[in-house]
């Protein structure tokens, strides 16, 4: 039986501005996504049973379980129907990205499922239609079809590639005992939002997008999340004290990451967080992402 193996890379938000609530109930975002080497692995194999069999290695409970609500299962089912495939798929998902930490693991898994199924079957689909399918699965999923460094607007589902910056080393700190529900983070932030986008803020954001150095880190969720979880603010302070050039909350949390000059300095800094999960990783360029996933050739 033919099989494929696809990495599902995590992401951080180098900049995340929440501009306000939209008429459709979602929030208007401006963000800079960046994929990093921390990743899950998805293996797909065709089967003749005509159904989707998903097994999760790691912690199935934290990953949402292997049932129909799992994003990998939903992505495979949706694309199978779209391609009118009769054959089934056996999927094995090995989880390494901590769940519920703002690192986009579930969304990346879903994108890997879409790309993997196209590779497995040799089918092609219009890029715009694949992005539409991805958006229906989750706001971050379209970004993970291409990875690298990208501008995200709207709900974050409308993405545009940005020039890659030089490879950078990151230390990601994931507190074992803190999870920040995204709806709660938006609720806490709501009272800080204005009804109209902040024009100076938009100009500042645009300058960060196109800066050759990649711009400074910023995340609007910190103002709402840190007062409620002082431990996360303390992690950011410690990362900076340990020599990080910059540090920020990942998405709406609860992971916090710092950017270091090299892996050796990041590994030394990791010793300051003995009670947390820590990951020394680096940024993944758009070209490397394309090469390792193999997706765009099938779009």
pLDDT of 212 reads: 46
CB within 8 Å of 170: residues ≥ 6 apart: 12, 36, 257, 258, 259, 260, 266, 280, 281, 282, 283
- Token pair for 144: 């993970």
Per the residue annotation, which of 17, 40, 140, 157 is the catalytic one? 140
76, 110 contact by CB (below 8 A): no
pLDDT of 259 reads: 98
Per domain, the residue ranges of the chain are 1-299
Can you tell me which residue has the tokens 């109930």? Answer: 25
Three-class SS state of 271: coil
pLDDT of 182 reads: 85
The tens-digit pLDDT sequence of the chain (299 residues) is 689 999 999 999 999 999 877 777 677 889 999 999 999 999 999 988 889 999 999 864 444 556 778 999 999 999 999 999 988 999 999 999 998 899 999 999 999 999 999 999 999 999 999 999 999 999 999 999 999 999 999 888 899 999 998 999 999 999 989 988 888 888 888 866 654 445 445 445 544 554 444 458 999 999 999 999 999 999 999 999 999 999 999 999 899 999 999 999 999 999 999 999 999 999 999 999 999 998 555 54
pLDDT of 20 reads: 79
Is 140 catalytic? The answer is yes
**In 3D, which of 48, 53, 47, 126 has the Cα closest to residue 83?**
126
Q: Are strands 149-154 and 158-161 parallel, antiparallel or unpaired?
A: antiparallel
H helix intervals, 32-147: 71-83, 105-121, 127-137
241, 216 contact by CB (below 8 A): no
pLDDT of 195 reads: 43
H helix intervals, the chain: 71-83, 105-121, 127-137, 182-190, 199-210, 221-225, 230-241, 263-270, 286-293
User: pTM of this prediction?
Assistant: 0.90
pLDDT of 83 reads: 93
Per the residue annotation, which of 11, 78, 236, 265 is the catalytic one? 11
Q: At residue 262, what are phi and psi to the nearest 5 degrees? A: -160, 165
Q: Which fold has domain 1-299?
A: Ribosomal Protein S5; domain 2 (3.30.230)
- Token pair for 54: 């998903």
């Amino acid at each position: 039986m033919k099989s494929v193996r696809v990495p599902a890379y995590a992401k951080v938000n180098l900049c995340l501005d929440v501009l306000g609530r939209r008429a459709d109930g979602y929030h208007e975002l401006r963000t800079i996504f960046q994929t990093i080497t921390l990743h899950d692995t998805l293996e797909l194999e065709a089967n003749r049973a005509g159904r989707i069999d998903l097994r999760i290695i790691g912690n199935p409970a934290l990953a949402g379980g292997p049932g129909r609500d799992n994003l990998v299962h939903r992505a495979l089912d949706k694309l199978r129907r779209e391609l009118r495939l009769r054959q089934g798929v056996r999927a094995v998902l090995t989880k390494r990205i901590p769940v519920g930490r703002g690192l986009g693991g579930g969304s990346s898994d879903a994108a890997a499922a879409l790309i993997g199924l196209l590779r497995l079957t040799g089918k092609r689909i219009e890029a715009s239609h694949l992005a539409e399918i991805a958006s229906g699965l989750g706001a971050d999923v379209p970004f993970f079809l291409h990875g690298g460094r990208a501008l995200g607007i709207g709900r974050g589902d409308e993405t545009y590639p940005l020039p890659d910056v030089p490879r950078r080393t990151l230390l990601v700190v994931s507190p074992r005992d803190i999870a920040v529900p995204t709806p709660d983070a938006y609720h806490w932030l709501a009272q800080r939002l204005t009804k109209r986008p902040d024009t100076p803020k938009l100009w500042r954001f645009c300058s960060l997008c196109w800066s050759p150095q990649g711009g400074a880190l910023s995340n609007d969720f910190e103002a709402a999340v840190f007062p409620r979880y002082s431990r996360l603010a303390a992690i950011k302070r410690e990362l900076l004290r340990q020599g990080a050039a910059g540090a920020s909350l990942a998405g709406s949390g609860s992971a916090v990451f710092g950017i270091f000059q090299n892996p050796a300095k990041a590994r030394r800094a990791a010793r300051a967080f003995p009670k947390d999960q820590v990951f020394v990783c680096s940024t993944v360029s758009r070209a490397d992402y394309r090469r390792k996933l193999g997706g765009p050739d099938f779009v």
